[in-house]
């Protein structure tokens, strides 16, 4: 059995639980952690958990004698070729082309080792580690203002949130989406910077580009998350390409039902975000990981694979310019401008990431999906 593993709480909880259960049967667990390519400078992201994530996962692995820990980077994998492979297999665009590079590398290695079942914890944010910001909106919605103030204070003291983000969390689901975002991040650019959707479609559907999915009480919010999040196509693709069965214990129906029945305040006990899983892992996961508040960052080295595959991206764009479907949906002119103005630095900056990581790669992915199906039709 294998485990796709970061050092986040959900991944750690799944890995630690699986390791403990397998140990009773005398079996081993192989865990895979994605790391940036060699030479990556983690100092570019001082507030994020990037290369040190391997140490966090390794600390958990060391606590269990039956864990084999594999560190995987995406060196040697080409962005456009890997993206096309996934799109062709799934029959739909991939959301983050850079991420499928290290995901592909992990499954290639897992198959080499004979892994048949891979565990993950991607739905933990809606179940075992449901975020506390929605709890604050529950307090405001039900008029428990003293509890709201006390919880916001303790969360800030423990490093779980700022007062500004706590205010946005309290408004979440109760105020318009644009107002909640303005309170939390008043200087951020509009979401349009990260999309390559055709300007005519942006103008037509602008009000629906960033909808507030999570309105209502705590249970209603998580049920909406359940309805909108579906990894079935990814799991079926992995089964088809690698013969590996991907399973997510945090997405089990019984886990959903149990977690949705827990009072919301249990997720912020002691002023800790994601308090439920932090307490559940006491004695099973090192405190350095269990009480960590720094966020991880997937594909932190995104500009390396994107930059090395620029010629292939330009070739793909030329093909999309001949496609009526791609021209109608994707802002191909924007993609061309981005390809002609590849930055020489500042890749860690949000505006750069929004444009060249998200807008460029997602636009090309959607364009490829449209033109390939158009050609087949």
pLDDT band, very low/low/confident/very high, at 187 (cuts 50, 70, 90): very low
Listed in sequence order, the DSSP H helices in the chain are 9-24, 53-63, 79-90, 97-112, 133-141, 145-157, 163-171, 177-184, 199-205, 218-228, 232-242, 253-260, 275-280, 287-290, 303-308, 310-320, 324-329, 332-340, 350-352, 360-376
31 within a domain of the structure (yes/no): yes
174 pLDDT exceeds 80?
no
pLDDT tens for 13-43 read: 999 999 999 999 999 999 998 888 887 776 6
84 within a domain of the structure (yes/no): yes
Listed residues 273, 296, 319: the one ending a domain: 296
201 within a domain of the structure (yes/no): no
213 pLDDT exceeds 60?
no
β-partners of residue 68 are 30
Cβ-defined contacts of 223-231 (< 8 Å, 24+): 223/260, 225/126, 226/126, 226/256, 229/123, 229/126, 231/122, 231/123
The strand pair at 2-4 and 48-49 is best described as unpaired
Which residue range is the domain that position 219 belongs to?
133-195+206-225
The model carries a pTM of 0.86
Listed residues 263, 278, 296: the one ending a domain: 296
More confident of the two residues 167 and 295: 167
Whole-angstrom Cα distance, residue 19 to residue 32? 13
200 within a domain of the structure (yes/no): no
Same domain, 283 and 168: no
pLDDT tens for 34-70 read: 888 887 776 666 555 554 445 556 777 788 889 999 9
Residue 32's pLDDT is 92
Same domain, 262 and 188: no
Same domain, 307 and 256: no
Same domain, 107 and 161: no
Report CA-CA distances (Å) from 49 to 43, 294, 300. Answer: 11, 6, 10
Q: What is the 3-state secondary structure (H, E, C) of 214-256?
A: CCCCHHHHHHHHHHHCCCHHHHHHHHHHHCCEEECHHHCHHHH
245 within a domain of the structure (yes/no): yes
As for how many domains the chain has, the answer is 3
Listed residues 296, 319, 344: the one ending a domain: 296
Same domain, 190 and 328: no
Same domain, 85 and 163: no
Same domain, 286 and 310: no
Same domain, 109 and 241: yes
Same domain, 111 and 141: no
Same domain, 145 and 244: no
Contact 59, 285 (CB under 8 A): no
The pLDDT > 90 percentage for the chain reads 45
Which CATH number is 290's domain given? 3.40.50.620
Find the helix or strand (DSSP H, E) in which 70 lies: strand 67-72
């Amino acid at each position: 059995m294998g485990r796709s593993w970061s050092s986040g709480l959900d991944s750690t909880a799944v890995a630690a639980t699986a390791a403990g259960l397998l140990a009773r049967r005398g079996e081993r667990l192989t865990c895979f952690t994605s790391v940036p390519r060699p030479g990556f400078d983690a100092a570019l992201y001082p507030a994020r958990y990037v290369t040190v994530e391997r140490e966090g996962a390794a600390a958990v692995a060391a606590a269990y004698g039956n864990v084999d820990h594999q560190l995987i980077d995406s060196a040697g994998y080409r962005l456009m070729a890997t993206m096309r492979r996934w799109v062709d297999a799934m029959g739909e665009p991939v959301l983050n082309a850079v991420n499928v590079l290290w995901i592909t590398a992990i499954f290639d290695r897992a198959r080499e080792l004979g892994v048949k079942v891979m565990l993950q914890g991607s739905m933990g944010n809606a179940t075992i580690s449901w975020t506390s910001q929605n709890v604050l909106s529950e307090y405001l919605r039900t008029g428990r203002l003293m509890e709201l103030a006390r919880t916001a204070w303790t969360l800030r003291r423990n490093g779980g949130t700022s007062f500004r983000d706590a205010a946005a969390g309290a408004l979440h689901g109760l105020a318009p989406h644009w107002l909640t975002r303005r309170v939390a991040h008043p200087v951020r650019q509009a979401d349009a910077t990260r999309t390559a959707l055709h300007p005519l479609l942006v103008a037509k559907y602008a009000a629906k580009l960033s909808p507030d999915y999570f309105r209502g009480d705590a249970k209603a919010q998580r049920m909406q998350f359940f309805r909108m999040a579906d990894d079935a196509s990814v799991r079926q693709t992995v089964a088809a390409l690698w013969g590996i069965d991907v399973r997510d214990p945090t997405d089990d129906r019984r886990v959903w039902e149990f977690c949705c029945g827990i009072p919301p305040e249990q997720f912020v006990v002691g002023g800790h975000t994601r308090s439920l899983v932090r307490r559940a892992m006491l004695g099973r996961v090192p405190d350095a990981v269990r009480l960590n508040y720094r966020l991880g960052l997937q594909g932190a080295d995104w500009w390396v694979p994107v930059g090395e595959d620029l010629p292939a991206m330009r070739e793909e764009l030329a093909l999309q310019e001949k496609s009526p479907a791609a021209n109608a949906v994707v802002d191909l002119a924007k993609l061309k401008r981005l390809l002609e103005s590849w930055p020489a630095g500042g890749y860690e900056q949000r505006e750069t990431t929004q444009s060249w990581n998200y807008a460029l790669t997602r636009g090309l992915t959607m364009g490829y999906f449209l033109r390939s199906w158009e050609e087949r039709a």
